[in-house]
């Protein structure tokens, strides 16, 4: 029930105009750390559920990274790869897996 609101807020964040950087370096440092915490929270969310994860990560990175869209989109792709690898490893070691079903699904996915 909460996911549509999270995705809506991420979309609003993307549409909001960027504000010029504050001249106060202490404020900028605090905002940067807040951005890192938000990236970590999005990563936890992705590992748990994943709906709208790309939009959430783009919304956070668009505020954190100063650069073109292609830069933080590449960062989002790398973060998603790492997050999915870590989540997969956690699932492999924490619950039984029906390997007989998983292998044909993976073959179909890559085909």
The first and second tokens of residue 92, run together, are 């492999």
pLDDT of residue 30 exceeding 90: no
Cα–Cα distances in Å, from 3 out to 7, 50, 66, 73, 82?
6, 10, 27, 21, 22
CA atoms within 13 A on the CB side of 81: 6
The single residue listed with the structure tokens 């505020």 is 63
Q: CA 53, CA 14: separation in Å to the nearest integer?
A: 14
Identify the burial level of 96 via C-beta atoms within 10 angstroms of its C-beta, where 0-12 means exposed, 13-18 middle and 19 or more buried: exposed
Q: 94: pLDDT confidence band, cut at 50, 70 and 90?
A: very high
Could you give the CA distance from residue 96 to residue 10 in angstroms, rounded to a whole number?
35
For 46-56, what is the mean pLDDT? 73
From CA 54, how far away is CA 63, in angstroms rounded?
A: 14
Can you give the residue ranges of every domain in the chain? 3-16+24-110
Which residue bears the tokens 């559920």? 49
- The predicted model gives 62-86 an average pLDDT of 84
The whole-angstrom separation of Cα 82 and Cα 104 is 24
């Amino acid at each position: 029930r909460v996911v549509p609101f999270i995705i809506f807020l991420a979309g609003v964040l993307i549409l909001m105009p960027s504000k010029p950087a504050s001249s106060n370096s202490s404020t900028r440092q605090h905002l940067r750390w807040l951005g890192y915490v938000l990236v970590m929270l999005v990563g936890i969310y992705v590992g748990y559920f994943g709906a709208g994860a790309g939009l959430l990560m783009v919304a956070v990175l668009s505020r954190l990274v100063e650069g073109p869209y292609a830069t933080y989109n590449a960062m989002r792709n790398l973060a998603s790869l790492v997050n999915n690898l870590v989540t997969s490893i956690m699932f492999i070691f924490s619950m039984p897996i029906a390997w007989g079903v998983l292998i044909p699904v993976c073959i179909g996915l890559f085909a």
